[in-house]
Structure 1
Amino acid sequence: MTLERPIAPDPYELLPTVPSFTLTSDDVRNGEPMDATYAHPSVGGDDLSPHLAWSGFPAETKGFVVTCFDPDAPTGSGFWHWVLVNLPTSVTELPRGASSDGLGGAFTVRNDYSQRGYGGAAPPPGDHPHRYLFAVHALDVERLDVTPDASPAYVGFNLAFHTLARAVIRPTHQVTQ
C-alpha cells in the first residue's frame, strides 16, 4: 500500500528562527537513509539511537534537550521517537544506544510508542522515505520545568520559550514491501 499524501513541512521551519550550531554523527547523515540499526523492531530494526555530537552552541547555553521527530508519519501530528530532557552542558555527545542513565539528571519522556527512551524508525511499509529530525536544542535555562510524565508536545511547547539555538540532522528511513 502506498499512502498518497503531500510531504509534511519541516516543523522547525514553522517556528521562530534561532541560530544553528554543529551537530554530527558517526551513524546518520542529512538526507541519507538510516541503517536498520536505528529502526524499530517491528520493521526489523535494532532500536538503537544513533551517535550524536554537538559543538559551537552559544556561550550562554545552560542545558540541552535532544529530540527525534518524524513529521512524515501518517498521523496528522507527526510522531515523536525520542525526547531526552535536561542534559547538562557538560554533555555534548551521546553514544549509539544512549540512555539517560548517568547524564546528570536528564530523563526521557514517553515517546509516541508510549515508552521512555528512543523508539526507532518505523514508517508504514511501502510509504515514501520518512525524515527523522534529530535535534539538539541549546537552552537558556539549566532545566525545563517539566516532569518525566510530560508529553513530547508539552516539552516542545516549553522549548519554544527557552531555545537559544538548534542543530538538526535529517536522515531518512523507508520500509519496502
Structure 2
Amino acid sequence: MFLDRPIAPDPYEMLPPVPSFTLISDDVRNGEPMDLEFAHDSVGGANRSPQLAWSDFPEATRGFTVTCFDPDAPTGSGFWHWVLVNIPVNVTELDRGAGRTPAPGVGGAFSVRNDYGVEGYGGAAPPAGDRPHRYVFAVHALDTERLDVTPNSTAAYVGFNLTFHTLARAVIRPTYQIAQ
C-alpha cells in the first residue's frame, strides 16, 4: 500500500550545508535496524530513546539540540519522534532512556511535543508492511546556549530556529520496519 510512493529526501539535504562532527551510539547504527526496545509501545516496544554520545564539535558551540525525525512516514511532512532543546554545552552524552520528560541528567533541557502529541521521545512505529523507515537522529551544535522556544513550540518551529543557529550537525540514521 505504501511501497509505491517515492523515497523521501534526507531532511538535511534540503537545508544549508554545515560541517559534521562525531556522533556514536551503543544502541543504533547507520543503516541498521533498531531493536524493538527503541520502538513505540503501540507496536510492543519499550519506547526508550537510544544512548547517544558526541565529540569533535566546533569550539564556538554554546549548546545542543537533539532531534529524531522519520522522513519516510506517509504524512507528506515526515514525523517528528523527538526534539530535545537547550542541552548545555558540557553535556555530550545522553544515556539510554534520556528521552523521558523531564530529561534526566540534562540540566535545563526540555522536549517539545513530538508528532504523537507528547513531550519526550516517541519510538518507531511505521505502518506494518511498509519498507524500512529511516530514523534520523541528529545532534545540532548551536551558536547559542538556548533557543527561544518553549515546550509548547512545534517541532517544525524548533527546526526553523535550528536552521539559523546550527554551526555543525552529526547524524545517525538507523532503520525500523514492521513485517506485514
Structure 1 length normalisation: TM-score?
0.98
Please tell me whether residue 157 in structure 1 is matched to residue 149 in structure 2: no
1:58, 1:43 → 2: CA distance?
A: 39
Alpha-carbon shift at residue 2 of structure 1 (Å): 4.6
Give the distance between the partners of 1:10 and 1:139, measured in 2 at CA: 21
- CA–CA distance in structure 2, aligned partners of residues 2 and 142 of structure 1: 41
Offset at residue 171 of structure 1 (A) = 0.1
Superposed CA deviations along residues 89-139 of structure 1, whole A, max 9, x for unmatched, are 111000111131341210000000001100000000000000000000000
Give the match for residue 143 of structure 2: 140
What are the Cα deviations for residues 27-54 of structure 1, in whole angstroms up to 9, with x where unaligned? Answer: 0000000000000011111100000000
Alignment correspondent of 2:25: 25
* 2:52 aligned partner: 52
The letter for the 2-side match of 1:141 is T
- 8 Å contact kept, 2:64–2:140: yes
The amino acid of 1:154's aligned partner reads: Y
2:74 aligns with: 74
Q: CA deviation at 1:69?
A: 0.1
For residues 64-93 of structure 1, what are the alpha-carbon distances to aligned partners after superposition, in whole Å with 9 as ceiling and x for unaligned?
A: 000000000000000000000000011100
> Structure 1 stretches of 5 or more lacking a match?
none
Note the aligned Cα RMSD (angstroms): 0.8
CA distance in structure 2 between the aligned counterparts of 1:29 and 1:55, rounded to whole angstroms: 17
Which runs of 5 or more structure 2 residues have no equivalent in the other structure?
A: none
Aligned-pair identity in percent equals 76
Q: Which amino acid aligns with 2:56?
A: G
1:54 aligned counterpart, secondary structure: strand
| Cα distance in 1 for residues equivalent to 2:32 and 2:173 | 8
CA distance in 2, matches of 1:105, 1:69: 22
Q: Distance in 1 between matches of 2:48 and 2:4?
A: 29
CA distance in 1, matches of 2:120, 2:2: 29
| d(CA) in 2 for partners of 1:15, 1:94 | 26
Deviations 1:140-167 (A, max 9, x none): 0000001110000000000000000000
**In structure 2, what is the equivalent of residue 6 of structure 1?**
6
Tell me how far apart the structure 1 counterparts of residues 32 and 105 of structure 2 sit (CA, whole Å). Answer: 31
Task: Classify the secondary structure of the residue corresponding to 2:162.
Answer: helix
Aligned residue number for residue 90 of structure 2: 90
